[in-house]
Structure formats: C-alpha cells, structure tokens
Structure 1
Amino acid sequence: MTSNRPENASAADHSAQVVVLGAGPVGLTIANYLGQIGVDVLVIEKLDKLIDYPRAIGIDDESLRTIQAVGLVDKVLPHTTPWHAMRFLTPKGRCFADIQPMTDEFGWSRRNAFIQPQVDGVLYEGLKRFANVRTLFSRDMVDFSQDPSGVTLRMRTAEGVEESVRACYLVACDGGNSYVRRSLGVSFEGRTAPNQWIVIDIANDPLGTPNVYLCCDPVRPYVSAALPHGVRRFEFMVMPGETEEELGKPENMRRLLAKVLPDPDRVELIRKRVYTHNARLAGQFRVGRVVLAGDAAHIMPVWQGQGYNSGMRDACNLAWKLGLVVKGLAGESLLDTYEQERRDHAKAMIDLSVLAGHVLAPPKRWQGTLRDGISWLLNYLPPVKRYFLEMRFKPMPQYRQGALVAASPALKNSPVGRMFIQPKVLTDDGREVLLDEVIGSRFAIIAWGNDPTWGLSAEQVAFWRDLGTCFIQVLPSAQLKAERALADGVIRIGDSTGRLKEWFGHYPASVVVLRPDRFVAGLAIPQTLDKLCDALVRALALKAAAPSVVAPSKVA
C-alpha cells in the first residue's frame, strides 16, 4: 500500500507528512518516534532555540520508557536522579508523608529528578539521526487551514518573510496558550490558582540533601528540591500584594532564602521566575487533521510532577497511531482513539495535582489543621499509610475503550488497556536485557511457553508480520538450553526474574498482544488467538501492510 503524501506540496515552501508545531518535549518525542519509522516530519518552533530555563523537575518511569522507545534513554539517564522521594513536612518540620514508591515494574525508577532543558537537548539532538526529520526555528505561525486531504500553514520568519507549509497532519504542541487550539475554537475549561509561586534555581547546592521536600508552612509554603548536577530548586508561594519585581530585589530574595538556608547571601543564583498554576483541559483533542498534545491539550499544577509526564503519555499514545495512519496502514478512525484513551486520564491527573496543591497550601486554615491531624492517624493505620506513601493513589492509565479488545466482563481487574510490565529477560545468546529492547517500536504477540503463531492462519501470520509484529515465546530461563523446535521468525526469551510467569499466572490467558506503546491490546489462549487478532484488526482499523514498516528491535 502506498504511503500518504500531502497533496499540493509543490506549491508550498515546505512539505511534510506530519508537521509538529512546538519543539518542547512532547513535540520532540513525537518527531523522534515518527522519524525512526520513516515518516517525513517537519518541526516548527517559534523561538530561535530550545527553551533553556528549567521547568519540570520530575520524570517518571512511563516517560523514561517512552524515551527508551525512541532509543535515547541511555543519554537521558545521566541527567536524572532515580528513586527520588517526595516528603511532606508540617510547619514544625515533622515529615507526615514520605512518598518513595520503589517499584520498577516498567523497567525504570518510578520517580526521578531531572532538569528539563538537558533532556530536551537530548531529544532534539536525537532528531539528527533521521534525514526525514527537519526543524525550523524562529517561525511565527500566521494562520492555518485544513481540507479533506491535508493542512496548510502560513508562518513568518524572524526577517519577516512569509512561508507556507503543506502536510497531511498537524500536531499542535504549542503550549498552554496554544494558538492552534484557540484558532480552532476548542474550549479550555478549568481554573487558575489564586496564588503564584516564585521558582529559584541555585548552582552548587547549598544544602546538598537529596530528595524533594514540600513544607506546608501556613505563613509561606515552600518546596526544596535536590536536582541532578548539584542544582537546588526552591519554590515559595507569592503572597497577596507581592509582585515579581519586588520579590526579585536582593533584600527580598535574601528574606525568602533565609527561611531555608543559614547563610542566604552565600548562593550561586542560576535564575528566578514566577509561575502561575493552572488546571485546564481542552474540550477535544482532535479536529479533523489537527491534533492537540501536551500543554495545548491540558495543563496542571506541578505538585505531582505530572504536567510533563502527562504530555509524554500523549506522545506515546499518539505517535504510533499517527504513523500507521500516515503510512496508509490504518484508517483515520484510529486517531479517534487518542482522545478516547487520553482525555479521561489527563483529567484524573489534573484532579490529583490540584489535590496535592491543597495538601501543601490548604485554601483555608482549618483544612491545614485537619491535614495534620489525619497525618498523625496514618501512623496507626499501616495499610492506609502504605496506600499513600507508595503512591497507590496515583491513577495509572487504563483504557477501557479505544484501540483494544476488552476482556470478558467476568475477568476481574483485567490488564487490557494497561501498560505491560518490562522485566529483564534472557536472550538466546545469553544476554540479559530489558523486554522492550527485544520488542522494538512495534506490535508484539507474546506467548508463555507456547509458539505465539500457533492458532493463527498463515494469512494472519503474514498480515501481522507485514505490520512488523514481533512474535515472542517466553520460557523459564532454564529451558532456553533445551533443544526445541521454533517457528520461523519467532524470538525466544528466558524469564530470568520470574515476573513474566507471575504476570501470566494472574490471568486465564497465556498470550498477550501489545501495541507499540506497550499497552495490552488483548488477551487470549492459543485456541482463541485467531479471533482476538481479527477483532484487533477491526478495532485498530488496520489495513494490509507493506513489509518492514516499523523499527525492529535492537536484539532480535
């Protein structure tokens, strides 16, 4: 099947299959994914370079797994601090919540500190691997329009020269004040927090203590966070009547830092900025051939570190679907599942972030007193305390409808629509690697103990292979050395940690179909796999494919 190409491209100054507006982390991640599967991408950025001032400071395991999927995690990890605990303090300094989830079910530390510009830089440099990805800086969007075959954009260079762009699709990652969202007339409902916060970043950390502390001081709440490379971040609530200009004066900066440092004059200031916290959600994430992602679709307070990570979930969910549609391998209806799957979870993360902000700085004094009393009671209710301290309250994404085939209602706590685990596995040649290194950026059909192609017709096997699907047989590691017939093209791996056996043991199924974003698309046993695969073809609007359309694994 031929790939989709933008029509009327010859009349435009630039053309691409996909235009990504905004060179932030979401846009850069989408461009990296599409680049590695051969999609022609043009990234357009209003600024003359990447933003260099720190913004997000928390990156989670799901985001690291997404960066792993585009082959850049090894370059990102040196800019992170794994297992970063978050501790809430009472006004007197008592720690009433020490949140440090230690799970690594997705292959990485659940909570990590990082400095966003350094990771954005890695994502940007990653684009240089692909001749099919181009980036244009200093381009100000003038307007855009769409028709049944594509999107046309007009933009202006720093010199005032107007240029046009023609593309099949536009992905708007142009921030909370998104020009594209406003031009489309899409609502952005929610509220703005009544208080601003001043953020102060300091080099050569004058405290040096690890982790992040949120002090629930009723006079002036503040945050103290240790970041990689010896950077310390302080955040102080801006009180009514204060302005950014006044707080930036040396005497007022000294007064703020005196709350947290014994010698507020002996610091190496990197920068300071005042932020307003918003909690808003777009009324829709897609209008025709234009898709919103990241802050253009949702913004949230920083207190759970989920603004950045929610945007990365958007990128992870959208990129593979857009790639299939642009290549003509799936119908456009697949893009409908992006909003269907992501919007509810984005709202849940907004609500959680707002709640965490109220814990740090309750709107009313009596709420702070209630919070402190409840924190004492938690010490006497270990199960409840574990629920909070291990972050089990964090709503993990689970898609109940969309690009999947739901399990039988009789199956309680179904894994369908949830992210699959990523344990270390043993390859046939004796190497221990993370599971995604075997799969690559593609679909996977994984069977416990059995041949994953058994039960499929030759036509079905050919169809899924042409999509680039990875067929994997999982065995106990001890069985890898046994002589055993293996179907052509099937990869064997050893369950070296026992986690895969444990996972399959929870459900009445021995075969799992994974989407390219590592979410479970469906469950089966060998005798029902054919029916599941047929149902998935319909659910994902898949079409016949040309061979080798997605990136292979690193260790296949």
Structure 2
Amino acid sequence: MSHLHSEPSRDAAESVESVESVESVDVTIVGAGPVGLTLANQLGLCGIRTLLVEAGDQLIDYPRGVGMDDESLRAFQQISLVDEIRRHTIPNQIMRFVNGSGTLLAELDPRTDEFGWPRRNGFIQPLVDAELLKGARRFGTVEVRFGHRMEGFAERADGVDVDLTGPGGSPLTVRSRYLVGADGGRSQTRKLLGLPFEGRTEPSRWLVVDLRNDPLGSPNAYMGCDPSRPYVSIGLPHGIRRFEFMLRPEEDETFVEDDTQLHRMLAPLIPDPARADIIRRRAYTHSSRVAGTFRKGRIMVAGDAAHLMPVWQGQGFNSGIRDAVNLGWKLACVLHGGASERLLDSYDTERRPHAAAMVDLSDKVGRVISPTNRWLAGARDAVLRGLGAVPAAKDYVTQMKFKPMPFYETGAVVHPTALARNAAPCVGRLFIQPEVTTLDGAQPLLDEVIGPWFTVLAWNNNPLSLLDDEARETWRRLGARFVEARPMEQLHWEGPIEQLDAEGLDVVGDHTGRLKAWFDRRPESFVVLRPDRFVAGAALAQQASALTRRLAEALHLIPGGFDVPRPVLPVALTADGVRTPVV
C-alpha cells in the first residue's frame, strides 16, 4: 500500500511493540456501508489520506434501504457518481397508503425538484453501495480493506491509535488523526466510547422478503394499513419487488424460513405465491434511538452508529448520507489547515437535532401503518379520508410538507440579526439547484458549475467587487469559487469571457427564473454556500465583507492559514467518452 505509510514516532513505536506495523493516515473510517463509503468518497475528493476498514469480507447484500431522496442524489452528484447510482433507482416513486380492502387512504407524490433531483426514489442498496465502492477506489489517497475488524482505539493529543485485526488474525495499529465509526446499529465505536444510545426498540418484528421477476410490476410503493397483518409492497429497479410483513408474537424463526407460511402471506397480494422467485428473506425489529453525542474528541459516529429509525419514511439511509456530507467537508477543512478543530463541534450541533426529528417522524408514520386493533384502524381510515377531502390538507400530505427539512439554527452558520430577519429565512437551509446557462451556452445544474466546495454567490453583482481585499483573500485561501447569477438577458453583458476568467469569476444565466424567484423572497442578494450546499450566511450587497468576517469566526477559520485546495475529481474522459481514473 503506497499511500498509507509508516511514520511512527519513538513513543508510538514503543506503545505498539507487539504489533506488526504502524500505519499513518488522516482519517480511519470503520464500516463500509453507504455512510462510510460516501464519506470515503468525500474525503478522497479533498485529497485526504483515508483508510476504510470493514470487518466483513465483502459488501453486505441482505435487504436494507429502498428509499432515496433528492438530498442524497445531490450528495452523489457532488462526488460525480449520480449517473452511476441513478441506474439503480426508480424516480418519482409514489407511496400509497391503503387499508385492508385496498381503498386508497393517502398518497405521497411530491413533484418538487428544487434541489435538482426527484424528491422520492426507489433504489436497491447493495447495487448503490457497489457503485460507491468503485467510486472510493478512484482516489489514490483512499484505501478500502475488507476482513479488517476494529478491536479498540486509544485517543492521543494529536490523533487516535486504531487497533485492527486483519485476515488470519494478524494485528495492525493505524495511527490516525481522526476516527469515524460508521459501523452500524451495533457500533463497536459507539460502545467503546461509552455513548448512551437513547430511545427504544419495538417488541414487534417484521419479515422482509425480496423477489426477482416482480410478480406485480407496479413502479410504486404501497403501505398496507391492514389490521389483520400490516404490510409493505415496493416496486424496485431491475425487476425486484420487496414485501414486508408484520410478524405476530408466536411467529418465530421457524415460521420465517417456512415457504408455506410465506406463500400464505403473499397470497392476498400476488396471483401465484408458489411461483415467487425469492432472493432473500430476513426478520428484523424497528428501533428508534439517537446517540448522546455524535462527537467525542477525535472520534465521531455517523449513520446507524449515531441514530436508528424505523423504515417507514426511508430516512435511515438518507440521514446517514446527510451525516457523511456534513462531516466530510469539515474534516477536510481542518486537515488542510484552513480551520481549527472547533469546526468539528458543529457536526454534532447540526446533525443530531435533525436526526432526532427524522426518528420522530418515522415513529409517527409507523403508528399510522401498524395498528392491529380494528376499531383503531377504522378511526385512522376515517381521519385520513377526511384529510383527503380538504384540498390544503391533501396537498400538505401529498407533497410531503410534513417532512422536517434540515435547518441549522446554530453551528457553522451566521444568521441575520433579529432586526434583519425576514419572512423567508435562508441561512442554515439547503440552497436550491436549478438549471443555469453558462457563457458557452451549456445548461447544467447549478452544482456542476459551482463545484463541490465553498461558493460565494451574488445576484446581478460581481461578488469580487463587493468584497474588500481582506474578505476576498479569506475566500481565496479557502479555495472558494466566485459566482455571479444574472438574468439571461444580461448573461453576456460585461466584457469578454477572457476578462471574466482572469478575474476568477463564473457567470451563470438564470434561464428558468428560479434563482430570481429565490432572491425575490428575501432582501439578501449575497450568499455564501458551504460544500454541503447549505447557506452559511446571507447579506445585503454592501454587507458582504462584514458577513465574511462573521463567517470566518463561525467557521473557525485560521487567520492567514494555509491555502486550501479546491477539490478536483481524479477522472478523465477517453476519446469514446468513458471516464477513467487518473493515475
């Protein structure tokens, strides 16, 4: 392994005398699930030396997540894997709630694409994980090792010694500046840290079954609110269908493996249960838990290691991806010397409250689906049908306006003062991603222009001209991109393209009108976007430099710190348009 190298100091070598070797990296990630793999891609994009270890010999292939939202697709767009991942999705998947007789009670069919992608997408997690693994292997600074179990760790003043057991029981210690546990609901990292995992686990169990040659073929998802046996039926890509059934207390593991019993459960839902082509089946329970903190010193937990939630809104997977995206750029900023370690405090401050809100939402939806008391189920049906008769209430449900979108009230953000607050606050929220027109006439999504790092963006103003020398240098040292958004009519108004390039400015035209509409709703015309596309701060044009100084404090930027390189993906296009890693 060429890029993970042995550089132990004398005291480190003495502390691991019985170990074969000591290797040195910036970040060790435990767990090669979607969260660990996404984080590895994020760090690889930023040139961070990363070791991802997984106890298993290969990626997990048993049934897991099936719902992906627009935020996750935007995250995969950032690491240039969205096209590969979308091959394993069904976009705009409708979720229909039906009662025991098949009557429609409610429907979730959000058609917004404010972040550039469909809000609801069915997907197959093992195939998506495989694409993320391929993506991580594009980077010369990232290594993935299967068959390596973490046995323990010891935090030092400037790092963490991570003890691993490799194939055949060979011991290895990795000296890492930071450790991230993305090792699932039974997280060894969380347990060794002694973090509380507060919440509860439901007593009821569910059987999940994946079938080939989808016997129904419907592209959508059905939540069967049937008091005799609540169930779920979901159409997935590549001709796969998932069923989930609530198990009764007396239905043990023998029942789970009995084909005859499975056929009886399937009989009301498919024409010929005996011909069902079973891929796999697995029993599981629903847990609703959140770790007491997501960061303790140089060690962090993410994904299921940090929070567990029922499957009803498909937010376990998506919440984990949010963790990875939030944490990745902060680690990169600190490790490149652009910010102090205090920036990492905002990972817990920002992510834990929202994860808890998603757990609460999942619990509430579960209570709608799973009543087995017929009187209670009947009352629920009446309430849902009543809501459907009220246009405003129906729209609220159908467009999923009940979903708590991430909003960071504190952390690596600067909110306007009380006097400057307005009816459409934007700070701490995701920025939109419409299509834009570039100077050469292309019409990509916004993130394709502004890139995967910090962006200083102004409406109808050159942001460079709004900043004083100190503020301009702050953003340049951080590797930010400067972008001016204009009405299409003024796209080519100012000077030749060469002059704009020399100034380090990107100009985009708002051919959809969505950017203007966004700025219409608020007084601020100058915004700073974080790498995770959240608005870090917003201000009037003349307040751009003052906002920069406030943000430098909130982001814990190091005055006169190192120049932070802008992330660049190590891929090239061959003559036939195939992307290949740059060696």
Alignment TM class, shorter chain as reference: over 0.9
Residue 549 (str. 1) matches residue 565 (str. 2): yes
Equivalence map 1:228-247=2 (5 Å):
228-247=237-256
1:429 maps to 440
Residue type of the alignment partner of 1:130: F
Distance 1:423 1:86 in 2: 25
Equivalence map 1:440-479=2 (5 Å):
440-479=451-490
Distance 2:388 2:295 in 1: 46
Cα deviation for residue 141 of structure 1 reads 1.6
User: Normalising by structure 2, what TM-score?
Assistant: 0.92
Residue 371 (str. 1) matches residue 387 (str. 2): no
Cα deviation for residue 59 of structure 1 reads 0.5
Residue type of the alignment partner of 1:498: G
2:66 maps to 57
- Alpha-carbon contact 1:188-1:280 (below 8 Å) kept: yes
Residue 269 (str. 1) matches residue 278 (str. 2): yes
Residue 303 (str. 1) matches residue 312 (str. 2): yes
Equivalent residue in structure 2 for 1:533, among 548, 551, 555: 548
Residue 279 (str. 1) matches residue 281 (str. 2): no
Residue type of the alignment partner of 1:550: R
Residue type of the alignment partner of 2:462: D
Residue type of the alignment partner of 1:440: G
Larger CA deviation: 144-153 vs 6-15: 6-15
- Alpha-carbon contact 1:6-1:149 (below 8 Å) kept: no
Distance 2:260 2:371 in 1: 28
- The gaps in structure 2 that reach 5 residues or longer are 14-20, 573-583
Residue type of the alignment partner of 2:538: L
Structure 1 counterpart SS, 2:261: helix
Equivalent residue in structure 2 for 1:510, among 509, 513, 525: 525
Distance 2:228 2:292 in 1: 37
Cα deviation for residue 6 of structure 1 reads 10
- The gaps in structure 1 that reach 5 residues or longer are none
Structure 2 counterpart SS, 1:481: coil
2:580 maps to none
2:536 maps to 521
1:126 maps to 135
Cα deviation for residue 15 of structure 1 reads 1.7
Distance 1:8 1:407 in 2: 47
Cα deviation for residue 284 of structure 1 reads 0.6
2:577 maps to none
- Alpha-carbon contact 2:294-2:306 (below 8 Å) kept: yes
Structure 2 counterpart SS, 1:432: coil
Cα deviation for residue 194 of structure 1 reads 1.5
User: Normalising by structure 1, what TM-score?
Assistant: 0.96
Cα deviation for residue 463 of structure 1 reads 2.3
Distance 2:264 2:294 in 1: 44
1:394 maps to 403
Relative distance call for 1:165 and 1:451 in structure 2 (3 A) is same
What do the CA deviations read for 1:107-159 (whole angstroms, capped 9, x no partner)?
00000000001110011001121111011111122111101110001111230
Cα deviation for residue 243 of structure 1 reads 1.0
Report the RMSD for the aligned CA atoms in angstroms: 1.7
Structure 2 counterpart SS, 1:166: strand
Equivalence map 1:78-477=2 (5 Å):
78-362=87-371, 364-409=373-418, 410-477=421-488
- Alpha-carbon contact 2:229-2:372 (below 8 Å) kept: no
Larger CA deviation: 270-279 vs 472-481: 472-481
Distance 2:463 2:310 in 1: 44
What do the CA deviations read for 1:278-308 (whole angstroms, capped 9, x no partner)?
0000001111000010000000000000000
Distance 1:503 1:398 in 2: 17
Residue type of the alignment partner of 2:528: V
Structure 2 counterpart SS, 1:521: strand
- Equivalent pairs: percent with the same residue? 49
What do the CA deviations read for 1:186-244 (whole angstroms, capped 9, x no partner)?
00011111211111111110111120001111011111100001101111111111012
What do the CA deviations read for 1:384-441 (whole angstroms, capped 9, x no partner)?
1111111000000000110010123332341100000000000100000000001111
2:53 maps to 44
What do the CA deviations read for 1:73-94 (whole angstroms, capped 9, x no partner)?
1111111100001000011111
Distance 2:382 2:83 in 1: 44
Q: How many residues align?
A: 551
Deviant stretches of 4+, over 4 Å: 552-555
Structure 2 counterpart SS, 1:64: helix
Distance 2:384 2:199 in 1: 29
Distance 2:395 2:332 in 1: 41
